A = this chain, B = another copy of it.
Amino acid sequence: MIETENITDVVETYLAAWNERVPERRRALVAEVFADDATYVDPARSGTGADGIDAMIAGAQEQHPGVELILAGAPDHHGAHVRFTWHLRPAGTDTVAMIGHDYASVAPDGRLKDVVGFVEVPEATAA
């Protein structure tokens, strides 16, 4: 059982990895937050293992310069499972350009094992 405080730290580190554009720092955050055999998949991309996931995030950063992900509300978790919502916004602004809903299983060492991401465009933006 992962404690609420710890799971929030894990999720914050996960989002920090997506936001970190200095390669060696990003790679360190990926290793810190993803289990060695972790998988990630969302509608646009997927990756396996720390190297694969780091390369995947690097590709996403190249496609989407100048944005950042922030945690939207406390993660919801029980047992070895967590879900959380994030907002993507142009860095330094309050404009929510995309909403993500991520689900992950948590390895015994507290790192994320399998992450499935879902995304939606905010209603105001979609209109």
Contact = CB atoms under 8 A, between A and B. Distances in A.
**Chain A interface SS verdict (over half):** strand
Please give the count of copies of this chain that the complex contains: 2
Interface residues of A, number: 14
Interface string A30-64: 00000000000111000000000000000000000
A78 B42 contact: yes
A114 to B, nearest CB: 9
A103 interface: yes
A81 B39 CA distance: 13
Contacts of A42: 78
A118 B43 contact: no
A103 B116 contact: yes
